[in-house]
């Protein structure tokens, strides 16, 4: 049951990070062709409100997931030794678990989830250890949280030669999602197979 839940959350978050706004303009254009001028104006106003709130909602047996804020196509790359890490997108969302799943969130009615979508590449032929999925997050609301290893994708560990991993690193925080505007993502530096340091600790500033 827990594995199925983790899979659902990961897929939902990945979906929103990669595809949430892909069809908004097409549906808007189709509707405009079929409505009167008055309805056009109402549709435009409604679309503007949606864009300003940036909220996207999906519901399932797990509960209701509301994406509050999102920033895509960041392409922010940093280095730690032979490791290149690229931040692709960031997202804050509110999850309201259904009664059946509340126990997995300490009985809370609502939790805030911060997701960082990233790519990691080892540029050397050596075995390199690097763990972005064990990173730490601080927020402008004064919180500090460790990555949820069991909810995050496997984007860390040993990189055997020139390999690349991509996925989501997920954090849970107590602040309201709408209050989070700035993040600092902290990751220990890369090391070799003998645990010798190859790069500095990374501290990546991100904002919505």
Q: Which two tokens stand for residue 63?
A: 């509960």
Please identify which residue in the block is written with the tokens 């960031």.
90
Residue % of the chain over a pLDDT of 70: 74
Q: Over 60: is that where the pLDDT of 112 sits?
A: yes
Task: Tell me which of 2-6, 147-151, 169-173 is least confident.
Answer: 2-6
Beta strands 182-187 and 136-139 are antiparallel
Average pLDDT of the segment spanning 117-131 = 97
Q: What is d(CA 75, CA 67) in angstroms, rounded to the nearest whole number?
A: 21
- Over residues 190-205, the mean pLDDT reads 97
Of 139, 166, 133, 165, the C-alpha closest to 152 is 133
pLDDT at residue 53 is higher than 80: no
Q: What's the pTM value of the predicted model, to 2 decimals?
A: 0.77
Mean pLDDT of all residues in 184-197: 97
* pLDDT the model gives residue 14: 60
pLDDT tops 70 at residue 118: yes
Return the higher-pLDDT residue of 15 and 78: 78
Average pLDDT over every residue of 99-120: 90
CA distance 18 to 145: 24
Distances from the Cα of 40 to the Cαs of 22, 34, 36, 37, in angstroms?
21, 9, 6, 5
Q: Is the pLDDT of residue 96 over 70?
A: yes
Which pLDDT value is given to residue 27? Answer: 47
Classified by CATH at the fold level, domain 2-207 comes out as Immunoglobulin-like (2.60.40)
**pLDDT over 90 percentage in the chain:** 61
| CB 158, CB 129: distance < 8 Å | yes
Number of H helices, E strands in the chain: 3, 13
How many whole angstroms separate alpha carbon 195 and alpha carbon 36? 67
Give helix 37-53 / helix 24-34 axis angle, nearest 10°. 160
Is residue 63 predicted with pLDDT exceeding 90? no
Give the pLDDT of residue 151: 81
Task: Locate 73 and state its tokens.
Answer: 């196509």
User: pLDDT tier at 56 (50, 70, 90 boundaries)?
Assistant: confident
Provide the 8-state DSSP code for 36: -
134, two tokens = 């064990």
Provide mean pLDDT across the span 4-24.
55
pLDDT on residue 66: 92
What are the residue ranges spanned by the domains of the chain? 2-207
Q: Which two structure tokens, joined as six digits, stand for 37?
A: 């001028």
């Amino acid at each position: 049951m827990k594995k199925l839940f983790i899979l659902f959350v990961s897929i939902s978050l990945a979906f929103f990070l990669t595809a949430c706004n892909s069809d908004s303009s097409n549906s808007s254009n189709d509707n405009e062709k079929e409505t009167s001028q008055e309805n056009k104006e109402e549709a435009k106003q409604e679309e503007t409100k949606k864009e300003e709130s940036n909220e996207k909602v999906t519901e399932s047996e797990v509960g209701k997931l509301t994406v509050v804020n999102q920033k895509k196509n960041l392409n922010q790359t940093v280095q730690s030794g032979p490791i290149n890490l690229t931040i692709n997108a960031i997202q804050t969302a509110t999850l309201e678990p259904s009664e059946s799943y509340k126990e997995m969130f300490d009985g809370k009615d609502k939790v805030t989830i911060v997701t960082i979508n990233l790519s990691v590449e080892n540029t050397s032929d050596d075995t390199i250890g690097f763990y972005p999925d064990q990173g730490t997050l601080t927020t402008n609301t004064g919180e500090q949280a460790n990555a949820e290893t069991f909810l995050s994708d496997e984007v860390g560990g040993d990189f055997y030669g020139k390999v690349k991993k991509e996925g989501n690193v997920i954090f849970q925080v107590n602040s309201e999602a709408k209050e989070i505007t700035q993040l600092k993502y902290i990751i220990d530096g890369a090391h070799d197979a003998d645990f010798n340091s190859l790069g500095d600790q990374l501290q990546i500033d991100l904002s919505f």
